[in-house]
Amino acid sequence: MVSAPFSTPLSRKLGLTYPLVCAPMFIISNKEMIVAAAEAGILGTMPSLNARTEAQFEADLKWIREKTDKPFGINVTIGLTDPARLQRDVELCLEYEVPVLLTSYGNPTDIVKQAHDKGVTVFHDVIHLHHAKKAEAAGVDGIIAVSQGAGGHAGRVNPYVLIPYLRQNVRVPILAAGCIGGGDQVAAALALGAELAYMGTRFIASTECGASQAYKDMVASASHEDIVYTDQVSGIHANFLAQTIPDATAPTRGPEAAKRWKDIWSAGQGVSLIDDVKPIEQIVDAIVREFHDAAARLR
């Protein structure tokens, strides 16, 4: 790693070299990504459910702990997870001293209490102010502002509005999620007042990602014209690569909806800015160089 570090109060508090998060992605994030991201100086994460069983999740946490002593995060999808599994996953995170919990799809109040008792940081995923206020009241340490065009379940509000608007209305730090493909967008997100850039789609096209080669190649070759925002896949609006959506797709819920994410591939509009598949260390290095170039242009 040759590029100079840059940071924000939140990235320094977390002990990161750069204010970047390799965001959690259902099915395709894995323990290898967490370790590669951590060693590259950013926050690596994955959803706990990417481990099929609690035993597998515990084995993954042990493996990560053996490979790196740097910070990392685990995502728990509250409303989409069986309550017993959810509680066990949170307990395992606390037992293995996972420094950051990322909560999504539900009320984080209980998890925040358990996490804060152990000094663990909690960030919560939102697409609008109403839920941001609720999360702030629940005591979270930061709000992940998921804007229009993000991979996965995305919001409808442009980041130029969403980030400053949330900043004006909540007191906790903001993490910017959605369409951040490179260092220019990281610089823009920090200029808007975000303290961490939360990037999913860029890291699909990484060597370490668990996505198939065809999925990675499609992300590297697609443009935003290929992205469709629809609730027809899982009942909740999300962004998908159009080529992977079968004709006459009807919305579905529960485990069937979850299974669909295997064959219908999600990605955000940031695909337009992604041209190659490479190791996470090289992705981070490029982002950092681009960030410094963007900052120099502003001087």
Residue 196 host element (H or E): strand 196-199
Site map 81..120 versus ligand FMN, x via CB under 6 A = -----------------------x----------------
Q: What is the sign of the dihedral through the CA atoms of 209, 213, 215 and 218?
A: positive
Q: Which is nearer to ligand FMN, 76 or 170 (CB)?
A: 76
What is the torsional sign of CA 209, 213, 217, 219? negative
CA separation for the pair 149, 177 (Å, rounded)? 9
Q: Which of 11, 16, 24, 132 binds ligand FMN (CB under 6 A)?
A: 24
Quick check: 155 binds ligand FMN (CB under 6 A)? no
Q: Binding to ligand FMN by residue 150, rule CB under 6 A?
A: yes
198 binds ligand FMN per the rule CB under 6 A:
yes
Is 4 or 251 the residue whose CB approaches ligand FMN more closely? 251
Of the candidate spans 11-19, 146-154, 159-167, 281-289, the one that interacts with ligand FMN by CB under 6 A turns out to be 146-154
Q: Does 19 bind ligand FMN (CB under 6 A)?
A: no
Q: Do residues 19 and 10 make contact, with C-beta atoms less than 8 angstroms apart?
A: yes
- Helix, coil or strand: residue 199: strand
- 90, 153, 161, 136 alpha-carbon torsion, rounded to 10°: -20
* Residue 48-67 contact track with ligand FMN, rule CB under 6 A, x = bound: --------------------
Pairwise CA distance, residues 2 & 8, whole Å: 19
- HSE-CB at 113 with a 13 A cutoff on CA atoms is 4
Select from 13, 16, 15, 17 the least CA-distant residue to 3.
Answer: 17
177 forms part of the interface with ligand FMN (CB under 6 A) = yes
Q: For residue 83, what are its two tokens?
A: 């309550």
CB of 62 to ligand FMN, least distance (A): 22
Interface pattern 204-243 for ligand FMN (x via CB under 6 A): ----------------------------------------
Q: How many CA atoms lie within 13 A of 120 on its CB side?
A: 27
Selection from 210, 205, 177 nearest residue 272 by Cα: 205
**By the rule CB under 6 A, 23 interacts with ligand FMN:** yes
Report the SS3 class of residue 45.
strand
- Using the contact rule CB under 6 A, the part of the chain among 86-94, 164-172, 195-203, 273-281 near ligand FMN is 195-203
Does position 136 interact with ligand FMN (CB under 6 A)? The reply is no
Q: Which residue is nearest to ligand FMN (CB)?
A: 200
What would the x/- binding string for ligand FMN be over residues 278 to 297, using CB under 6 A? --------------------
Count of residues in contact with ligand FMN, rule CB under 6 A:
26
Among 22-30, 93-101, 112-120, 275-283, the segment contacting ligand FMN (CB under 6 A): 22-30
Tracing tokens 């379940």 back to the chain, one arrives at 153
β-bridge mates for residue 229, sequence order: 239
Question: Of 75, 121, 148, 206, which lies in the binding site for ligand FMN, with binding defined by CB under 6 A?
Answer: 75
Count Cα neighbours of 95 within 13 Å in the Cβ-side half-sphere: 11
What's at 195, amino acid-wise? E
Binding site for ligand FMN (CB under 6 A): 23-26, 28, 47, 75, 77, 104, 125, 146, 150-152, 177-180, 198-201, 266-268, 270
